[in-house]
Structure 1
Amino acid sequence: MRLRTLLGDHPGTAALKNGSVKSDSVTFDFADYSPTNKGFKPMVREGAFDVSEMAIVTYLMAKSFGKPMVLLPEVVVARFQHAFGLYNAKLGMLKPSDLNHKRVGIRSFTTTTGAWLRGILANDYGVDLNSIDWVTFEDAHVAEFRDTTMRAPAGKPIIQMLLDGELDAVLGEKVEREGLKPLFPDVAAEEKAWFAKHQVLPINHMVVVSEKLAHEHPEAVREVFRLLRESAGRAPAGAPKFSTEEMRRSLELIIGYTAQQGLIPRAYAVDELFDDLTRTLR
């Protein structure tokens, strides 16, 4: 069986993509999107792939609108988020707790990194997210979702707006530019303290399969999961690896943040994210 597949180049996917992990029963036809997240919209809106890497917040939102996708319990991208916030130091010092009533830019209001960072700001720093003037540059992957943010001028890059003083801070960006400083001043210390508090490594991307594939070819879904697991097992030391409980803790937290921010109508139980087949995969 040939499967239309969207899968980025990550330490845990390398063995699968270079062919050193293979199968007698399924073959992957890899789509070429750079960056990979450019393929999430066609997957959500058109069902473009049988197997697809997927941002977890996009999946949660897609689920809330009944999109025919099923989550696999396999993480392909996870990272701490604190390094992905910047402010323009030339306009004065800015701390996370100073963001109330500020102008904050983000590529799309529904990015997973944005949801993690807003959750951190609201729950660990007391920021009133509703007081912020959010400026966005793209719509959501899920077409049915409507946000109430202000759209940036066409053609104006997010970092240039920050440098020009049109934004007070940006989320989801990590660049080295004169005058720009991290919103969290000691990123390593912030990450360590946050992990000590929550015992969570934030999940960014997992893998989904089409509902049609899950229903009509469950054996193929099991094989896809096996291959993903085998490829992840060959990843170099230091690549994110999750036990079932670690994955559940991370999912519970991002589900809570996503619901808190109004991106989904309610907080799902983790088991609701999977179907009868994928819930049993280990």
Structure 2
Amino acid sequence: MTKKVQITLACGDYEIVRALKEGEISPDGIDLTILTEMDSTTRHWRFLRNREFDVAEVSLSSYIAAKGRNLPFAAIPVFLHRRFRHGFIFTNTASGIREPTDLIGRKVGVKNYLVTATLWQRGLLESEYGVPHTSMDWYAELDEDVDFIPPTGLRLHRLADDKSVEQMLVDGEIDALLHPDLIEPVLRKDPRVGRLFPDYKRDEIGYFERTGIFPIMHVLGIRPEIVERHPWVPINLYQAFTEAKRIAMERMENPRIVPLAWYREAWEEQQAILGDDPWAYGLGEQNRKTLETAVDYAHQQGLIDRKLDLSDLFLDLSQGRKRGDKHRV
């Protein structure tokens, strides 16, 4: 029997990885043990702090911060999670915040400062709406995925273990909350909590039309000793994830598999606005712009003390000009 390299992969349970998880496809020469039961924040911590997995879906901003500190990690340009972020800026409805500039001078909560969602949210508030990230007092609930010393001018406070930024927002202890997910008060329709951008979909479409950016949340991190021992593994993993996404998209095109009345219309709307493959992997022109913007935001917000080139962040997956696209015998 052919011996394969044993690799442990931790990632989310996404449709675009289903073919890998279920064994419909497998990376050439690799035997994957796939872990999908962790929440994102736990997975990021366990990879970046404890190095528990060979390969892991990991926070883009925390990975950038880790590379800025020369920590031993590598990554390939596989982006399992993207999300527009206007709809995840929440306010206490009694705070009087009606527009972005009302955030200036306010108390704003985050799960943790390095989380990618809030990197993008702070970036768009500053670049699109004139709200400097240093104009607010920040309150973070969780420890960071990598060690982080706030730069001069950043007012960042760590909360006690018994404090929740969601409850603080409801109680009016903070004025606003930048969050990666839908928060419980919104799901409960608590009248004390609203959105900074009530018509967030319109604002997100406008942002994409102005910038061409569909924000990338996560990259695929790899422990460098795996690359050193088996330099062919990153390319074979990239090919397998690309094929898994192709299978997923082909399957998702059929509206019968999703219990939504207007699913097909949503699929066609996405194509009309974002293009044929907004979930593309690799370092094509649009992804490069998105990633370079994230690096600029990370530098601007004090996550890193120097700008990093994309070649510093991602492994070279080149197989030579016009090579690697087709298998020939």
Name the stretch that deviates more: 161-170 or 149-158: 149-158
Tell me how far apart the structure 1 counterparts of residues 15 and 95 of structure 2 sit (CA, whole Å): 39
Residue 145 of structure 1 corresponds to 148
Q: Does 1:15 align with 2:19?
A: yes
Name 1:156's counterpart in structure 2.
Answer: 163
CA distance in 2, matches of 1:80, 1:234: 24
Query: Could you tell me the TM-score, scaled by structure 2's length?
Result: 0.80
Answer whether contact 1:97 1:127 (CA < 8 A) is retained. Answer: yes
Cα gap change, 1:30/1:95 in structure 2, threshold over 3 Å: closer, same or farther? Answer: same
Q: Note if contact 2:101-2:129 (Cα within 8 Å) is conserved in structure 1.
A: yes
Which residue does 1:89 correspond to in 2?
A: 93
Counterpart contact for 2:8–2:33, Cα < 8 Å: yes
The letter for the 2-side match of 1:146 is: I
Per the alignment, residue 56 of structure 2 pairs with 52
Structure 1 residue runs without a partner (length 5+): none
Counterpart-to-counterpart distance in 1, 2:156 and 2:49: 22
Cα drift, residue 67 of structure 1: 1.8
CA distance in 1, matches of 2:33, 2:128: 43
The percentage of aligned residue pairs carrying the same residue is: 29
Is the aligned partner of 1:247 residue 2:287? yes
Correspondence for 1:73: 77
Q: Deviations over 1:224-246 (max 9, x none)?
A: 11111111112224585226122
The alignment status of 1:117 with 2:130, answered yes or no, reads: no
Structure number with larger C-alpha Rg: 2
How many corresponding residue pairs?
Answer: 281
Q: Using structure 1 for the length normalisation, give the TM-score.
A: 0.93
Q: State which drifts further: 270-279 or 182-191.
A: 270-279
Q: What is the CA-CA distance between 1:161 and the residue it aligns to?
A: 0.6
Is the CA contact (8 Å cut-off) linking 2:97 and 2:196 kept in structure 1?
no
Shift of 1:48: 1.5
1:34-55 deviations in Å (ceiling 9; x for gaps): 2133111121123211111111
Higher RCO, Cα 8 Å, sep 6+: 1
Q: Identify the structure with the greater strand proportion.
A: 1
- Structure 1: how far apart are the matches of 2:117 and 2:79? 15
The answer for the alignment partner of 2:274 in structure 1 is: none
Q: Which residue of 1 aligns with 2:173?
A: 166
- The reply to whether residue 100 of structure 1 matches residue 138 of structure 2 is no
CA displacement 1:135-178 (0-9 Å, x = unmatched): 01011101x32235112232222211111110100001423232
Unpaired stretches in structure 2, ≥5 consecutive residues: 254-266, 268-276
Question: For 1:46 and 1:9, how far apart are their aligned partners in 2?
Answer: 22
**Equivalences for 1:93-242 in 2 at 5 Å?**
93-142=97-146, 144-147=147-150, 149-172=156-179, 173-175=181-183, 176=186, 177-179=189-191, 180-235=193-248, 236-237=252-253, 240-242=278-280
Contact 2:27 2:239 in 1 (8 A): no
Q: Name the aligned partner's letter for residue 194 of structure 2.
A: K
2:97 and 2:103 in contact (8 A); partners too:
no
> Do the aligned residues in 2 keep the contact of 1:61 with 1:264 (CA within 8 Å)?
yes
Greater mean deviation of Cα atoms: 191-200 or 168-177 = 168-177
- Quick one: which amino acid aligns to residue 85 of structure 2? Q
Q: Please tell me the residue identity of whatever aligns with 2:195.
A: P
